[in-house]
Structure 1
Amino acid sequence: MLQTPKAAAVAGIVAALLLGAAVLLVHLAVPEHPQDTADWVEDTSQRDFLHGALALLPFAGIFFLWFMGAIRDYVGEAEDRFFATLFLGSGFLFVAMLFVLAATTGSLLAVTDVSASPSAGERALWQYGRHLVLELLTGYATRMAAVFVVSTTTIGHRLGIFPRWLAWLGYLVALVLLFAVGGTSHLELVFPLWMLAVSSHVLVVTLRRRRAGGRPDRGAAATP
């Protein structure tokens, strides 16, 4: 059976890779400018990208929940109630928005796959869906991800689970997700990159302690 820190690391790495791939596919498929809608409707390759994102998003959400549960179990009773509430609330809302994003993406595909030459009404519906997908991704899901990063980083830093460099990285990523996302493309990818950094650190520390013959204690101090 996987020990909790190792399980959290594995789940976090898988979730980061799936989420990063899904976000990248959404950006490749959905045009950022409304005037590009006509080209998108007639481009089969871009719809294929969206099909790929739709297939990845549910699994990204499932592994993200596993990542949350494993980290919370690792922290144990030492967690701060205030930041633990932010951790759970923002994490659940982030996953809920991922699933709404996936459902909206599926609806867009259903509309655009109806006919090769869409009508004006179908184009208008696609414009609405395009705006909804981008707004969910860059306007709301990323803000919940920022709160999740802040709460996780604060808990990890206070308990000594995260080294100083990882704590500073977490707060920087949170600032980017709160204020910079939306104006520049692909900045949402800093969230899965942060998850990958956290998970890799936990995995390295866990394997290092196992090789040393010790067991990873919950809340044990991390080496900066």
Structure 2
Amino acid sequence: MHTTTKTSLLRSEEASKQVGGSGRWAAISGIGFVVLMLVGSMLVGDVPLPDAPVQEITDYLADTDRQMGNLIGAYSWVVGSLLFLLFAGRLRSELRSAEGGAGTLSNVNFAAGAAFSAVWAAAAGISGAIPFAIAVRGAPAIDPDLVRVLPAAGRFLLLLGGGFTGALFLVTAAVVIFRTGVFQRWLGGLGIVAAVALLFDIVYLNITPFWAWVLVTAVVMLTRRPKPTTPTPDAA
């Protein structure tokens, strides 16, 4: 019996180490997501505004360096969206384990996270279309009106689609946290505040409350200690 119990304990410790390792990588992915989104936004956003003078748009169309910067930013968004999926997948596992039952809210949370990731990848493609056509494919001429419309369309897509899916992601996570205590309840409260702020940020063209919550949650996941596992002794 003692040998069986010892074996069970070793297996439980090994499983705990594996879970802890995957949790750390998921948390690091969340931090990487925030960094790439910030860097990508600065690079993708380096385009003339929709109401910019024709000469400014003409100068942009001739500036290959700025266009390459836009492309790097677009790729940063795509890679960041994939890192977010890793983070969201681990968060879903944490929420699902605590929620129990059918895990409806946990599943909706991950679905919202997947939709958020897809929206950002699509927005990256729209925002990078003009720089790709000129700097990579050598397009001979681009209608200046496309410079006014396409980047704005990409940003509207991520702010509308990403804003509402992001709010749903935050609210469902917060509800599970409040119900189960899987994380500190202040993190759930922060999620509600971020979700409400996100709705206003859709108007003010700013999605940083979502990034802030992901960053804080990733740090919590990275720094918290795993709960000890106590195996039940096997019968002789």
Category of TM-score, reference length = shorter chain: 0.7 to 0.9
Q: How much does 1:87 deviate? A: 0.7
Provide the secondary structure at the position in 2 that maps to 1:162.
Answer: coil
- 1:124 and 1:33 map into 2 onto residues whose CA distance is 8
Unaligned 5+ residue runs, structure 2?
1-17, 231-236
Is there any run of 5+ residues in structure 1 with no aligned partner, and where? 218-224
- State the Cα deviation string for residues 17-51 of structure 1 (Å, max 9, x = none): 22232233333x13444325625434445424312
Instruction: Write the distance in 2 (CA, Å) between the matches of 1:101 and 1:62.
Output: 14
Residues in 2 aligned to 1:179 and 1:70: alpha-carbon distance in whole angstroms: 28
What residue in structure 1 maps to residue 4 of structure 2?
A: none
Secondary structure at the residue paired with 2:204? coil
The CA deviation at 1:216 is: 7.7
Counterpart in the other structure of 1:215? 228
Tell me the equivalent position of 1:181: 202
- Give the equivalent residue in structure 2 for 1:35: 52
1:36-86 deviation per Cα after TM superposition (whole angstroms, max 9, x unaligned): 562543444542431221221221121111111112223344336332242
Which stretch of structure 1 is more off in the superposition, 69-78 or 147-156?
69-78
C-alpha distance 164-32 of structure 1, shift in aligned 2 (>3 A): farther
Letter in 2 for 1:198: T
Q: Is 1:191 aligned to 2:213, yes or no?
A: no
Letter of the 1:159 partner, please give it. Answer: T
Matched, 1:65 2:85: yes
In the TM superposition, what are the counterparts of 1:20-99 in structure 2 within 5 Å? 20-27=38-45, 29-35=46-52, 38=57, 39-79=59-99, 81-99=103-121
Counterpart for residue 142 of structure 1? 163
Q: Report deviation, 1:163.
A: 2.0
CA contact (8 A) 1:23 1:188 kept: no
The amino acid of 2:129's aligned partner reads S
Moved over 6 A (4+): none
In the TM superposition, residue 189 of structure 1 has moved relative to its aligned partner by 2.1
Q: Which residue of 2 aligns with 1:203?
A: 222
Partner deviation per Cα, 1:130-172 (whole Å, 9 max, x = no partner):
2211211222212211111111222223221232332221111
Contact 1:5 1:74 in 2 (8 A): no
Identify if the C-alpha distance between structure 1 residues 161 and 2 changes in structure 2 by more than 3 Å, giving closer, same or farther.
closer
Contact in 2 for aligned 1:154/1:167 (Cα 8 Å): yes
TM-score in terms of structure 2 length: 0.74
Partner residue, 1:222: none
Q: Check whether the contact 1:139–1:182 (CA below 8 A) recurs between aligned residues.
A: no
Calculate the aligned-residue CA RMSD, in Å: 2.6
Q: Is the 1:5–1:216 contact (alpha carbons within 8 Å) kept by the matching residues of 2?
A: no
- Is 1:6 the counterpart of 2:24? The answer is yes
Larger Cα-atom Rg: 2
Deviations 1:175-195 (A, max 9, x none): 1212233325xx212222211
Which residue identity lines up with residue 203 of structure 1 in the other structure? L
Select which of 103, 123, 127 maps to 2:148. Answer: 127
Equivalent residue letter for 1:74: E
Q: What amino acid is aligned across from residue 58 of structure 1 in structure 2?
A: V
